[in-house]
Amino acid sequence: MSGRHLLLTAWAFAPARTSGVYRAIGLANAFASRGWDVTVLTAPEKTFADEGVIDASLSEQIHDRVRTVHVPFSSGLYASDVAEWSRTQARFPELWGAVRGLPFPEAGFGGWRRALARAADRVHRTTRVDLTLGTASPSVDFIPGWHLKRRHGVPNIMDYRDAWTIDVFTGGRNPRATRRSEQWESRLIDSADQVWFVNEPIRGWHAAKYPLAADRMRVVSNGFDVVDGQSPAVPMVDHVPGRPLTFGYLGTINHGQFPTEALLAGWTRARERSTELAGARLVLRGYLGRTGIADEHLEDFLRRGAAVGIAYEGPVAKAQIQDVYATFDALVLALASGPGVTSGKVFEFAATGLPVVSVHDPSSAASAVMEGSPVWSPTASMGPDDIADALIVGAERARTQTAQSRAEAISWGAQWERGHQLQSAVDGAERLLATGGGR
């Protein structure tokens, strides 16, 4: 199917490097590679450049059929250029933010609703939109789809890469959800033709909350990205006898989500119990939180970690990740615990073919991804002894992995390529249009 027009809304899109950008890029490219013209409504690049959250290499990953439309955006959360402030914003920031948030109940983003609706109208007027897709968070990204559906009957898909009124760590009610946000979510889901979620626990929680929409809900998993034709797969090189092992972690390191204390305790215990681990290093790569700088908790963790062979060696551009994975002998998948937590990193880790040691709650959705991997060593619990056990098994696998077993692991991980994951989702979207396009 070709010549169709998708309107995708993603607050952050390339070259912004905030979380969720990779899924948005993947979605745009998946439709574009099937012949769709894709228009992306996104915030202006300056929003991200001012905060230093840009990765220019991401722009090179965008398919030729994808066009971006920058929709004016201002928010108390991202208003870093004081020269652009009004007197009201400078003098009464809380009041300014509250008034701007009135159109849509989402702190920091609600004020974007009207600009998004106007932009959607303009795009639809210029080139008729056949399908809309909003990927959130922020949830205001759902507005263009809802708006064009109401006004023009354009079929509409909501894509939750996170959750809004549900806490993904527990499945319970998000304590920050308000009555108004609950009402809005209900309204949006009621109007959507399909609702996508990144894993089964999150889908299940929403299906239980909105049973009338359950048959329109499906899981559209994340995946790893192939950049410039290169997957993160790490071909086997010969072991150098006696060379200490290097464990690696690559991903954003957020205080409160990255399990610093459990990892540190487990790693320390493993070093006490294993001479192999005693000489090993754990190298952490990635951004430190959204701002790229460690808060006092992360600083403290890194300082204590340095004494036991844990080193932080800075962020990595998307285009460089394959080279960085190639410097590791094994990976440590350290994630926040919670049944709804998958993390995009799990797919990339799986794709490398390197032994992966899971340091997250066994009930994590990441376990469902890694199950079946021939080189996976999950911890049985977040206790230090169990984490040490997993690390010791991971070290042994790293020492004994052969070219054949590495190739088998790479082959197993290839199923998680993002484009492959998204194909059935695009199929489903095309079927939606083929059967009359929406409800």
Query: What's the closest the beta carbon of residue 175 comes to other proteins, in angstroms?
Result: 15
Q: Which is nearer to other proteins, 91 or 128 (CB)?
A: 91
In angstroms, give the least distance from the CB of 92 to other proteins.
Answer: 5
Cβ atoms of 334 and 193 closer than 8 Å: no
Judged by CB under 8 A, does residue 92 bind other proteins?
yes
Tokens of 270: 């493993």
Distance CA 292, CA 301 (A): 16
* Residue 91 contacts other proteins per CB under 8 A: yes
**Integer angstrom CA distances of residue 38 from 130, 132, 361, 436:** 10, 10, 38, 20
Stretch in the footprint of other proteins (CB under 8 A) among 50-58, 187-195, 398-406, 410-418: 50-58
144-203 binders of other proteins (CB under 8 A): none
Strand-pairing partners, residue 135, are: 159
Cβ atoms of 356 and 377 closer than 8 Å: yes
Q: How far is the CB of 291 from other proteins (least distance, A)?
A: 4
Binding region for other proteins (CB under 8 A) out of 26-34, 94-102, 167-175, 377-385: 94-102
Residues 51-80 contacting other proteins, CB under 8 A: 51-53, 79-80
Print burial letters for 330-356: b (CB count within 10 Å at least 16), e (below 16).
Answer: bbbbbbbbbbbbbbbbbbbbbbbbbbb
User: What phi, psi does 280 have (nearest 5°)?
Assistant: -85, 165
Please provide the size of the chain in residues.
439
Q: How far apart are CA 254 and CA 260, in angstroms?
A: 9
254 binds other proteins (CB under 8 A): no
Q: To the nearest whole angstrom, how small is the minimum distance from the Cβ of residue 90 to other proteins?
A: 4
Chain positions 383 to 422 lying near other proteins, rule: CB under 8 A, are: none
429 touches other proteins (CB under 8 A): no
Give the CA radius of gyration of the chain. 22
Q: Under rule CB under 8 A, how many of the chain's residues touch other proteins?
A: 25
User: Is 83 a binder of other proteins (CB under 8 A)?
Assistant: yes
CB-based contact 168:363 (threshold 8 Å):
no
By CB under 8 A, tell whether 313 contacts other proteins: no
Q: Is 90 in the site for other proteins (CB under 8 A)?
A: yes
Name the site residues for other proteins (rule: CB under 8 A): 49-53, 79-83, 85, 87, 90-95, 98, 290-294, 299
